[in-house]
Amino acid sequence: MLKIWGRTNSINVQKAMWAVGELGLAHERIDAGGRFGGLDTEEFAQMNPNRRIPVIDDEGTVVWESHSIVRYLAAKYGAGTLWPTDPGERAKSEMWMDWTLADLQPAFIGVFWNLYRTPEEQRNWKVIRQGIARSAILFKMLDKHLEDKPFVGGQMLTIGDIATGAQLYRYFELEIDRPELPNVEAWYARLKEREAYRTHVMVPFDELKGRTGF
């Protein structure tokens, strides 16, 4: 059976779990990281020398890094759905996955860490304001992309939506200034209709408030 190590309120674990949910895969999730610990054991290091979550073991195939996990699961179990079989169509999703990893998530995670996870007296407001401004620019770029399509890759949910859409719940839940994003908001509404998204991404993150230790 597929095994997944990670805590439910980790955004990177949520990407993997959302993919698992969409694919309907039987699995066992093992709490790891954060207050659960377990990342400093030699057993875990043998799976992932970076000692980070998520990690999966699919009947002996071990994969770490959330986007690699999503790609692997979709390629193996979701050909024609989450994983477009045409390379050109798949590239439309994969480039937004890489954009999320290189641009969107670093910008927004800086806001989340400095505003939400950092104790109020330690917050760096210059960094927070810069992160909010940068996130707004990037989300407006995404909003433009979604003008004529319901999902990131086109007409159906794919791996691109999973990487990028995992950011939305926290972005819209935080009390920050946001630009008008009608197409992103419509896309978010479509994602919220999906059981796997509600179950694995719309996870309360109150436990993380003011906690920089994990």
Beta carbons of 34 and 83 less than 8 angstroms apart: no
Beta carbons of 199 and 136 less than 8 angstroms apart: no
Q: What is the DSSP letter of 116?
A: I
pLDDT of residue 52: 97
pLDDT of residue 30: 98
pLDDT of residue 182: 98
Percentage of residues in the chain having pLDDT higher than 90? 92
Q: How many other C-beta atoms lie within 10 A of the C-beta of residue 87?
A: 8
- The predicted-structure confidence for 78-134, as pLDDT tens digits, reads as follows 999 999 999 999 999 999 999 999 999 999 998 998 999 899 899 999 999 999 999
Domains and CATH numbers, the chain: 2-77 (3.40.30.10), 87-202 (1.20.1050.10)
- Measured in degrees and rounded to the nearest 5, phi and psi for residue 30 equal -115, 120
* Backbone Cα Rg of the chain: 17
Confidence category of residue 213, pLDDT binned at 50, 70, 90: low
Q: What angle do CA 76, 78, 79 make, to 5 degrees?
A: 85
pLDDT of residue 210: 74
